[in-house]
Every structure is written in structure tokens, then in C-alpha cells.
Structure 1
């Protein structure tokens, strides 16, 4: 039976993927929670705060129908507190568990800044589904940046943490292709030496 924060059994793959990436983030945070654990603030906390705030901008926009990733709070406490990060990640999972396929087709306007110094504003049309694909991919990128810090601290992490899904699929296909297969249709022929 799904937990209150798990995706519905009929959830579109994009929602399942976001749930999986949020789970990866929760495992990284948990590895840093507690008095004897490696320091969370710094690269790990900064990257996760950044990813969490992007999800929040999409899931709880300041203006309905308009997503602005650049108007983030850049919250120092979220960057320093594993407990707060865990709460926010679980809240995101719980909210996304209420979304369905129809939610993903809802139109949104994405606002932001561009130009090398943020000198230009832009607004482009999108959908919640397209933006959900972006925030999950964006978080995977930040998990890739977190990965070496976890390894340097001796934290056991999953082999595919921070790898793009297409990269993992490619590696699995290559591994299957290089594994010899044996047919069981015909029994092997044994030659007896004389």
C-alpha cells in the first residue's frame, strides 16, 4: 500500500521520477543528520537548498499560473538544517502525490532573468509537466555535484546518484550487451576423450 507521500498507483512516470529524485535527496540529507554525521552546511546544504527552492517555486508559485525560479528566498536555514530540508522534501512529496496526468498539462508562464548579469527579464509559456521534467533533471545535476562531497566524507551512496536517467539506461544496456548469454534450447554436447 502506498504511503501518504508515495505516488498514486496510476501516477504518470514523470511524477514517479520526481518522487524517486526527492527520495534520493532525502537519503543524502539523512546521511548528514545527527551529531556524529558529516557537516551538512556548505556544498551539500547549498546544492540541496537550491534544488528544493526550485521545486517549491513550481509546486507553490507566488502567483498562480506563473513560475519564477529566480525569485527564490535563498533561505540560509534551509541550507544549514538537515531537519528543515527533510521536512521540505517530504512536504513536496506529499503535495506531488496529489497531482495527476491532468495536472501536468496545465499551462503556466515561466518568468525569470537572463543576460550575463540578469539585466533582461523574460516570460515564456510552458506546462506544469514540462517544468516538472526540468526541476527533476535540475536536481539530478545538483546531486551529481554533491556526490564527490559525500564520497569524500565516506558516506555510502547509491551508484546512480547524480546520473541522468538516459546515462543509467545506456550503461545498463551496455552491460547487458557485454554479458554472454547461453541458450538452454539444446543441451551442451560433451566429447569424451579416448
Structure 2
């Protein structure tokens, strides 16, 4: 079922949606500058259009689970270092996500500061070059999270099509869930 094309979701597969949402996080986190930090010559930029396609994550569920667990571990370790209760408080520096195992390419620095500037490169017109937008790490992390929820909703449609319904809240934005709770 992981690789079976959906009639209802434009021939999409669960695997392609999983790869797509993972790619957004991967591209955001992998482009953070090296441990020595940012300089005038090296600004942090992210281009979500440089996604990988036709990769093992789309077709190999075990590989996908492993990669998602790596991402989850990295994000959980990093979020602990952030002060999410005070988003306006500046926290300078970077955090390096490391485990007790040997260092890997996944052990790259991440910003402590949700307000760390990021330049977003986006394709608006396929006949022209990318357009640059100024953003922040926190805003882009939020975007990746809500973008993932959108793909969870598509995965939910595919699962329902194949007779595997998921929980009611799966694929629903946090703000929608909050609104529903306030109207109960």
C-alpha cells in the first residue's frame, strides 16, 4: 500500500507524500551554515524546490521509518534547547545535534534562535529564476510542520481509499483542532 498509486489523490502514493514532507525538513536543516556560524559571505538560505525524487524513501517503508526516526530524534533534541515559551527572547549561537553513537552527516549544527534570519528561494515562475524572501528559522520550521500536516491529510485520503481509515485528528491543522475543542 505504501507505493500503490491513488486514484483519488492524483496518482500520489503514501511513499511520495512521506518523502515530500521529509524533504522540506531535510532541506531546511541541511542548509544551516557550518559550526563556525554565519558570516557576511555566507548567509543561510533554503530552497524547498531542490527536493529529491525517486529515492528509497518513496518505495522502501523500512528506510522511510529509519529516516523519519532520525529526523524526529534530531528535532526533539533541538527543540529541548529552544525557549518556545518566549519566542521574542534572543538566543544566540548554534546547537549541534549529536548522539552517543558515531557522528554522521545528520550531526550538523542547528540555530538556537527561532528568529535566526533565513533567505527563502522560491520558484514563482518556471521560466524565471528563484525569487528571494526574508524569513526566520522559526517561521520556516512552522511552515515545514504545517506543510507536513497537509501531506498527512493527503495520506489519510489515500489510506481511506485503500480501506485503512486513520484517526479523526490525523491530517488536521493544530489551529483547526483547537477551534473544534473550543466549540465542544
TM range (shorter): 0.5 to 0.7
Structure 1 segments, 4+ long, off by >3 Å, are none
Q: How does 1:1-194 map to 2 (within 5 A)?
A: 39-41=1-3, 42=5, 43-61=13-31, 65-99=44-78, 100-101=81-82, 102=91, 103=112, 104-115=114-125, 117=126, 119-175=128-184
Q: Distance in 2 between matches of 1:72 and 1:150?
A: 24
Structure 1 stretches lacking a partner, 5+ long? 1-38, 176-194
Structure 2 length-normalised TM: 0.67
Q: Distance in 2 between matches of 1:163 and 1:85?
A: 22
Structure 2 stretches lacking a partner, 5+ long? 6-12, 35-43, 83-90, 92-111
Q: Distance in 1 between matches of 2:152 and 2:15?
A: 11
Q: CA 1:84 to 1:106, structure 2 compared with 1: closer, same or farther past 3 Å? A: same
Greater share of residues in helix:
1
Structure 1 length-normalised TM: 0.64
Q: Is this contact kept in 2: 1:53–1:74, CA < 8 A? A: no
Q: Distance in 2 between matches of 1:118 and 1:95?
A: 36
Aligned pairs, number: 136
Q: Which has the larger radius of gyration?
A: 1
